[in-house]
Amino acid sequence: MNKKGFTPLEKFIDFKRRLSPLEADGGIKPLSGHSVSPVRDKSLNGVRKRSSLTGFTLVEIIIATMIMVVAITGTLQIFCNLMNVSENNDNFVPAMNEIQGKMDEIRNVPFDDIAAKYNNTNFSVDILTNRGVTHSGLISVAVLEPDFLLEVRAVICWRQRNRVIGEDTNLNGVLDAGEDKNNNGQMDSPCALSTAILFR
Protein backbone atom coordinates (compact mmCIF):
# COMPACT_ATOMS: atom_id res chain seq x y z
CA MET A 1 0.00 0.00 0.00
CA ASN A 2 1.14 3.56 -0.63
CA LYS A 3 0.90 6.45 1.69
CA LYS A 4 -2.68 7.11 0.74
CA GLY A 5 -3.69 3.64 1.80
CA PHE A 6 -4.39 2.18 -1.64
CA THR A 7 -2.66 -0.69 -3.39
CA PRO A 8 -0.94 0.04 -6.75
CA LEU A 9 -3.73 -1.84 -8.60
CA GLU A 10 -6.42 0.42 -7.24
CA LYS A 11 -7.21 3.77 -8.78
CA PHE A 12 -6.96 6.69 -6.48
CA ILE A 13 -9.96 8.97 -6.61
CA ASP A 14 -9.56 12.42 -5.23
CA PHE A 15 -12.94 13.08 -3.66
CA LYS A 16 -11.85 16.56 -2.67
CA ARG A 17 -11.41 17.64 -6.33
CA ARG A 18 -14.45 19.35 -7.70
CA LEU A 19 -15.94 17.51 -10.67
CA SER A 20 -16.82 19.33 -13.85
CA PRO A 21 -20.49 19.36 -14.88
CA LEU A 22 -19.71 16.93 -17.71
CA GLU A 23 -17.94 14.45 -15.43
CA ALA A 24 -20.52 14.80 -12.71
CA ASP A 25 -23.26 13.99 -15.17
CA GLY A 26 -21.46 10.84 -16.30
CA GLY A 27 -20.69 12.32 -19.73
CA ILE A 28 -17.79 11.71 -22.08
CA LYS A 29 -14.44 12.77 -20.82
CA PRO A 30 -12.66 14.99 -23.37
CA LEU A 31 -9.46 13.71 -24.95
CA SER A 32 -7.78 17.10 -24.73
CA GLY A 33 -7.97 20.20 -22.67
CA HIS A 34 -10.77 21.59 -24.80
CA SER A 35 -14.33 20.88 -23.87
CA VAL A 36 -16.22 18.66 -26.33
CA SER A 37 -19.96 18.31 -26.49
CA PRO A 38 -21.42 15.18 -28.12
CA VAL A 39 -23.56 16.07 -31.14
CA ARG A 40 -26.25 13.77 -32.45
CA ASP A 41 -26.69 13.41 -36.19
CA LYS A 42 -30.27 14.58 -36.63
CA SER A 43 -30.31 13.63 -40.34
CA LEU A 44 -30.57 9.94 -39.43
CA ASN A 45 -33.85 10.47 -37.51
CA GLY A 46 -33.00 7.65 -35.20
CA VAL A 47 -32.24 5.15 -38.03
CA ARG A 48 -28.89 3.45 -37.93
CA LYS A 49 -26.71 3.68 -40.99
CA ARG A 50 -26.23 0.40 -42.84
CA SER A 51 -22.91 -1.17 -42.07
CA SER A 52 -20.59 -2.10 -44.93
CA LEU A 53 -20.56 -5.65 -43.56
CA THR A 54 -24.31 -6.10 -43.90
CA GLY A 55 -25.31 -8.94 -46.32
CA PHE A 56 -27.63 -8.73 -49.34
CA THR A 57 -31.35 -8.73 -48.86
CA LEU A 58 -33.62 -11.33 -50.46
CA VAL A 59 -35.00 -8.78 -52.92
CA GLU A 60 -31.50 -7.85 -54.08
CA ILE A 61 -30.59 -11.50 -54.57
CA ILE A 62 -33.76 -12.16 -56.60
CA ILE A 63 -33.15 -9.11 -58.82
CA ALA A 64 -29.52 -10.08 -59.38
CA THR A 65 -30.56 -13.65 -60.24
CA MET A 66 -33.15 -12.44 -62.76
CA ILE A 67 -30.60 -10.18 -64.44
CA MET A 68 -28.14 -13.06 -64.61
CA VAL A 69 -30.74 -15.40 -66.13
CA VAL A 70 -31.64 -12.85 -68.82
CA ALA A 71 -27.97 -12.26 -69.63
CA ILE A 72 -27.18 -15.98 -69.85
CA THR A 73 -30.26 -16.67 -72.00
CA GLY A 74 -29.32 -13.91 -74.43
CA THR A 75 -25.74 -15.15 -74.61
CA LEU A 76 -26.88 -18.71 -75.38
CA GLN A 77 -29.20 -17.48 -78.14
CA ILE A 78 -26.40 -15.48 -79.71
CA PHE A 79 -24.09 -18.50 -79.48
CA CYS A 80 -26.66 -20.77 -81.17
CA ASN A 81 -27.23 -18.23 -83.94
CA LEU A 82 -23.50 -17.93 -84.52
CA MET A 83 -23.26 -21.73 -84.74
CA ASN A 84 -26.03 -21.79 -87.37
CA VAL A 85 -24.39 -19.00 -89.35
CA SER A 86 -21.05 -20.80 -89.25
CA GLU A 87 -22.59 -24.10 -90.37
CA ASN A 88 -24.54 -22.38 -93.14
CA ASN A 89 -21.36 -20.71 -94.38
CA ASP A 90 -19.50 -24.05 -94.34
CA ASN A 91 -22.16 -25.49 -96.66
CA PHE A 92 -22.79 -22.41 -98.77
CA VAL A 93 -19.20 -21.77 -99.87
CA PRO A 94 -18.49 -25.21 -101.43
CA ALA A 95 -21.97 -25.27 -102.97
CA MET A 96 -21.46 -21.91 -104.66
CA ASN A 97 -18.01 -22.96 -105.83
CA GLU A 98 -19.57 -26.05 -107.42
CA ILE A 99 -22.18 -23.91 -109.20
CA GLN A 100 -19.52 -21.58 -110.58
CA GLY A 101 -17.58 -24.60 -111.79
CA LYS A 102 -20.70 -25.90 -113.55
CA MET A 103 -21.22 -22.55 -115.25
CA ASP A 104 -17.65 -22.57 -116.55
CA GLU A 105 -18.21 -26.11 -117.80
CA ILE A 106 -21.40 -25.13 -119.65
CA ARG A 107 -19.75 -22.12 -121.31
CA ASN A 108 -17.27 -24.46 -122.96
CA VAL A 109 -20.06 -26.54 -124.53
CA PRO A 110 -21.29 -25.69 -128.05
CA PHE A 111 -24.30 -23.39 -127.93
CA ASP A 112 -26.62 -25.79 -129.78
CA ASP A 113 -25.86 -28.62 -127.31
CA ILE A 114 -26.39 -26.76 -124.03
CA ALA A 115 -30.17 -27.10 -123.72
CA ALA A 116 -30.25 -30.75 -124.72
CA LYS A 117 -27.37 -31.69 -122.43
CA TYR A 118 -28.03 -29.66 -119.28
CA ASN A 119 -31.70 -28.70 -119.06
CA ASN A 120 -33.34 -30.23 -115.94
CA THR A 121 -30.23 -32.17 -114.98
CA ASN A 122 -29.13 -32.90 -111.43
CA PHE A 123 -25.69 -32.72 -109.92
CA SER A 124 -24.09 -33.09 -106.50
CA VAL A 125 -21.37 -31.40 -104.48
CA ASP A 126 -18.58 -33.78 -103.51
CA ILE A 127 -17.59 -31.80 -100.42
CA LEU A 128 -21.15 -31.87 -99.06
CA THR A 129 -21.45 -35.57 -99.91
CA ASN A 130 -18.26 -36.35 -97.98
CA ARG A 131 -19.59 -34.42 -94.99
CA GLY A 132 -22.82 -36.41 -95.02
CA VAL A 133 -24.92 -33.35 -95.88
CA THR A 134 -28.07 -34.32 -97.79
CA HIS A 135 -28.43 -31.99 -100.76
CA SER A 136 -29.64 -31.67 -104.34
CA GLY A 137 -28.49 -29.63 -107.33
CA LEU A 138 -30.57 -28.69 -110.35
CA ILE A 139 -29.61 -27.03 -113.62
CA SER A 140 -32.30 -25.50 -115.81
CA VAL A 141 -31.88 -23.96 -119.24
CA ALA A 142 -34.40 -21.47 -120.61
CA VAL A 143 -34.39 -20.32 -124.23
CA LEU A 144 -34.70 -16.54 -124.23
CA GLU A 145 -34.07 -16.04 -127.95
CA PRO A 146 -34.10 -19.08 -130.27
CA ASP A 147 -30.67 -19.79 -131.73
CA PHE A 148 -29.34 -16.67 -130.05
CA LEU A 149 -29.69 -16.38 -126.24
CA LEU A 150 -30.03 -18.89 -123.39
CA GLU A 151 -30.45 -18.46 -119.65
CA VAL A 152 -28.75 -21.11 -117.55
CA ARG A 153 -29.67 -21.38 -113.89
CA ALA A 154 -28.12 -23.64 -111.25
CA VAL A 155 -29.57 -24.16 -107.77
CA ILE A 156 -28.42 -26.17 -104.76
CA CYS A 157 -30.60 -27.00 -101.75
CA TRP A 158 -29.43 -28.85 -98.64
CA ARG A 159 -30.59 -30.00 -95.24
CA GLN A 160 -29.15 -28.16 -92.25
CA ARG A 161 -30.12 -29.37 -88.79
CA ASN A 162 -33.94 -29.54 -88.78
CA ARG A 163 -34.66 -27.46 -91.87
CA VAL A 164 -34.00 -27.43 -95.59
CA ILE A 165 -32.19 -24.50 -97.19
CA GLY A 166 -34.09 -23.85 -100.42
CA GLU A 167 -37.44 -24.87 -101.88
CA ASP A 168 -36.62 -28.52 -102.63
CA THR A 169 -38.05 -29.78 -99.34
CA ASN A 170 -37.65 -33.49 -100.19
CA LEU A 171 -34.26 -32.89 -101.84
CA ASN A 172 -35.06 -35.00 -104.90
CA GLY A 173 -33.78 -32.41 -107.37
CA VAL A 174 -37.25 -31.73 -108.79
CA LEU A 175 -39.61 -28.85 -108.13
CA ASP A 176 -42.64 -30.80 -106.94
CA ALA A 177 -46.16 -29.51 -106.37
CA GLY A 178 -46.35 -27.34 -103.27
CA GLU A 179 -42.62 -26.59 -103.18
CA ASP A 180 -42.77 -23.41 -105.25
CA LYS A 181 -43.47 -21.07 -102.35
CA ASN A 182 -43.26 -17.81 -104.30
CA ASN A 183 -45.03 -19.23 -107.40
CA ASN A 184 -42.37 -18.13 -109.87
CA GLY A 185 -42.20 -21.49 -111.64
CA GLN A 186 -38.61 -22.26 -110.68
CA MET A 187 -36.70 -23.69 -107.75
CA ASP A 188 -35.25 -21.04 -105.45
CA SER A 189 -32.47 -21.19 -102.91
CA PRO A 190 -29.99 -18.82 -101.29
CA CYS A 191 -27.35 -20.73 -103.23
CA ALA A 192 -28.35 -20.07 -106.85
CA LEU A 193 -26.72 -18.53 -109.88
CA SER A 194 -28.08 -17.51 -113.29
CA THR A 195 -26.16 -16.52 -116.37
CA ALA A 196 -26.98 -15.63 -119.96
CA ILE A 197 -25.12 -17.39 -122.76
CA LEU A 198 -24.97 -15.90 -126.24
CA PHE A 199 -24.50 -17.80 -129.45
CA ARG A 200 -20.88 -17.65 -130.53
Note the pLDDT tens digit of each residue in 11-58: 545 555 555 555 555 555 555 555 555 555 555 555 555 555 567 888
Which domain, by its residues, includes 141?
88-198
Instruction: Count CB neighbours of 171 within 10 A.
Output: 14
- pLDDT tens for 116-140 read 999 999 999 999 999 999 999 999 9
d(CA 105, CA 193): 14
d(CA 180, CA 160): 19
3-state secondary structure of 159: strand
Measured between alpha carbons, how far apart are the two ends of the chain, in Å? Answer: 133
Residue 70 located in a structural domain: no
d(CA 95, CA 124): 9
* Per-residue pLDDT band at 199 (split at 50, 70, 90): confident
| Predicted local distance difference test score (pLDDT) of residue 63 | 93
Residue 123 located in a structural domain: yes
Residue 35 located in a structural domain: no
| Predicted local distance difference test score (pLDDT) of residue 121 | 94
How many folded domains does the chain comprise?
1
Average pLDDT over residues 162-187: 90
The widest CA-to-CA distance across the chain, in whole angstroms, is 140
Residue 100 located in a structural domain: yes
| Predicted local distance difference test score (pLDDT) of residue 9 | 52
Residue 168 located in a structural domain: yes
* Per-residue pLDDT band at 83 (split at 50, 70, 90): confident
Residue 80 located in a structural domain: no
Residue 61 located in a structural domain: no
Residue 68 located in a structural domain: no
Q: Which residues pair with 143 in a beta bridge?
A: 150
Contact at 8 Å (CB) between 177 and 164?
no
| Predicted local distance difference test score (pLDDT) of residue 70 | 94
Which residues of 88-190 form beta strands (DSSP E)? 121-123, 135-145, 149-160, 163-165
Pairing of strands 191-198, 135-145: unpaired
d(CA 58, CA 195): 67
